[in-house]
A and B are shown apart, each in its own frame.
Chain A
Amino acid sequence: NAGVTQTPKFQVLKTGQSMTLQCAQDMNHEYMSWYRQDPGMGLRLIHYSVGAGITDQGEVPNGYNVSRSTTEDFPLRLLSAAPSQTSVYFCASSYSSSPGGELFFGEGSRLTVL
């Protein structure tokens, strides 16, 4: 029972490089989202999707792109990495976009931008 799988677990980038953080879930969840976790700031929503083909911005979307071509996958793209994007990134999914639906998180991807 894989749940939410994130790759890579660790990544080091140089300023200006681009990369994609992968997220896949095998629970047939409608709702998927990306959060970043920074010390003293909790988790902040970057982008989210309520179903295939539908995405929207969260609280801190600048510098990130997403797409949702399938129910299972929700990749997060960093277009031109900046040191301010050094963080731990979490992908989360839930069965429904309605509140009260438990969010299931992946184990995180730790990104360092030099």
Chain B
Amino acid sequence: QQQVKQSPQSLIVQKGGISIINCAYENTAFDYFPWYQQFPGKGPALLIAIRPDVSEKKEGRFTISFNKSAKQFSLHIMDSQPGDSATYFCAASRRIYGNKLVFGAGTILRVKS
């Protein structure tokens, strides 16, 4: 039973396009939603994170959109570049459980040049 459902499983985007990855969660007690980026042969690394008191957070070309009522959040990568090709994981946690992150299944992004 996956508490955080992520889609799509894989994604191919042309260079300069917008990459969109979606996640849905069930546990309304979750109050921290990070995205991690993983390159082949490496461990995941924090990309961007959001708390449920805001609906959007932007860092450079990366934006998280958060819809609390729908229990969904998404990652948008604007002007996608070949260097963005990686696996992306959404995650969630409950404040009282500290850093016990629950991860989505991951999305393999390929940006074609």
Contact = CB atoms under 8 A, between A and B. Distances in A.
B60 interface: no
Contacts of B93: 99
A1 interface: no
A42 B99 contact: no
Please classify the interface of chain B as helix (H, G, I), strand (E, B), loop, or mixed, using the class held by over half of its residues: loop
Interface residues of A, number: 30
Nearest to A38: B105
A48 B100 CA distance: 8
A105 B45 CA distance: 7
B31 interface: yes
A10 B46 CA distance: 24
Given A33-B99, A48-B100, 18 more contacts: A4-B43, A31-B99, A40-B105, A41-B2, A42-B6, A42-B105, A43-B44, A43-B89, A43-B101, A44-B103, A45-B100, A90-B44, A92-B43, A97-B98, A98-B99, A99-B94, A103-B101, A108-B42
